[in-house]
Amino acid sequence: MTKIFDFKKEINSEELKQAAKSIRNGNLVIFPTETVYGIGANALNYKAVDNIFLAKGRANDNPLIVHIADFDMLDDLVDNISPLEKKLMDAFMPGPFTLILKKKDIIPNNVSANLDTVGIRMPANKIAHDFIKEANIPIAAPSANISSRPSGTNIEDIKEEFNNKVDIIIDGGDTSVGLESTVVKVIDGVPTILRPGKITPEDIIEIIGICKLSDNLFKKADGIVESPGMKYKHYAPNNKCILIYSEDENKLIDLVQKNIKSKTLIIGNEKHKDKYDSYKYLSYGITLDDISHNIFSLLRKADKYEPDLIIIEGVKKEGLGIAIMNRLIRASSYNYIEE
């Protein structure tokens, strides 16, 4: 039976020790981070890491991110850190940021899906930090969701999928950012965003002066890609879904209205909640931060109304909007209308 530790108000140090011991011993533990919940295993234990892939139903060519508590843990795991990479880490770690680095042999091949690199992340969330510190091992953790489903950002969604599949779930309340970390790899001396997130291209340009976006952020990727995760169906509700956007607000409302069919559920801006004659309207809030925080749980909630169609209002692909649109385009399986 899965044990649930409630750390929402405060971290219980006895339970923290128990969770740390459990993961050290090879069990799976789900823990909160500032981005989304992670389903964690001892990153140095091949068998434990394998169990993550089984629990999620994840393709084994999709590598995992390794989480550390502080820079002391880094030296054992990676090699050849360049001054530019060091600068990125100093600027954005701890935080919602993952850097792809050259891995050392100590990291099992299932963590890195046989690549010679590994994603390193140092969460800023206090529970995540204290948990990794107490465990005193690097923790491999993908987002806590069954593969292809929206990432888990709250305890109810997590329990639905993982109750009795992991040893312990640590409840830290709703995650603050709501979208997974920005994944960056330095390619030919240029920081390149493989997966956009809360740390935006502008944030990176401010520190480094230059930043590229991977080609595949808004389209379907096939074959060999920089970030294998981009190939797969992801974030998807179970029902048919269309993403609609126009820079012109009236046009957007018009386009959404025109696409409504019977039993259509709309996920959109709080300001538009009375604009449509739809079966159901779920508001994702007003700001990009609201949307980022709410979107994954809303995609899951939408399914519960069993609509025939889900329409999602898109946002401008700018700042955090890049990350939001990257997830929404995949959630809607590339059914995207922009005018």
**CB 230 to ligand TXA: min, Å:** 6
> Going residue by residue from 203 to 222, which x/- string records binding to ligand TXA, judged by CB under 6 A?
--------------------
Residue from 118, 169, 184, 309 touching ligand TXA (CB under 6 A): that is 118
User: Considering beta carbons, is residue 52 or 253 the nearer one to Mg ion?
Assistant: 52
> Is residue 36 a contact point for ligand TXA (CB under 6 A)?
yes
CA distance readout (Å), 257 to 119, 144, 250: 42, 34, 11
- Closest residue to ligand TXA: CB criterion: 229
Quick one: which of 267, 262, 270 has its CA closest to 313? Answer: 267
Residue tagged 């390794």 (tokens): 66
* Number of residues lying near ligand TXA (CB under 6 A): 28
> Going residue by residue from 26 to 65, which x/- string records binding to Mg ion, judged by CB under 5 A?
----------------------------------------
- Residue 107 near residue 11, CB atoms below 8 Å: no
User: Considering beta carbons, is residue 144 or 267 the nearer one to ligand TXA?
Assistant: 144
**CB 329 to ligand TXA: min, Å:** 15
Quick one: which of 173, 131, 139, 134 has its CA closest to 156? Answer: 173
Name the segment binding ligand TXA (CB under 6 A); options: 34-42, 164-172, 245-253, 329-337. 34-42
141-160 positions binding ligand TXA, by CB under 6 A? 141-143
* Residue 283: strand pairing partners: 268
- For the CA atoms of 40, 54, 224, 115, what is the dihedral angle to 10 degrees? 50
CA distance readout (Å), 122 to 155, 180, 184, 281: 22, 13, 14, 37
> Is residue 100 a contact point for ligand TXA (CB under 6 A)?
yes
> Is residue 181 a contact point for ligand TXA (CB under 6 A)?
yes
Distance between start and end Cα atoms, the chain: 51
**CB 235 to Mg ion: min, Å:** 8
> Is residue 186 a contact point for ligand TXA (CB under 6 A)?
no
> Is residue 143 a contact point for Mg ion (CB under 5 A)?
yes
Which DSSP symbol is given to 180? P
- Residue 152 near residue 37, CB atoms below 8 Å: yes
- Residue 66 near residue 115, CB atoms below 8 Å: no
DSSP-based three-state secondary structure for 65: strand
Residue tagged 């390193």 (tokens): 120
- Residue 106 CB burial class (10 angstroms; 0-12, 13-18, ≥19): exposed
Please report, as ranges, the residues that interact with Mg ion according to CB under 5 A: 143
Please report, as ranges, the residues that interact with ligand TXA according to CB under 6 A: 33, 35-36, 38, 62-65, 98, 100, 112, 115, 117-119, 121, 141-143, 180-181, 183, 194-195, 226-229
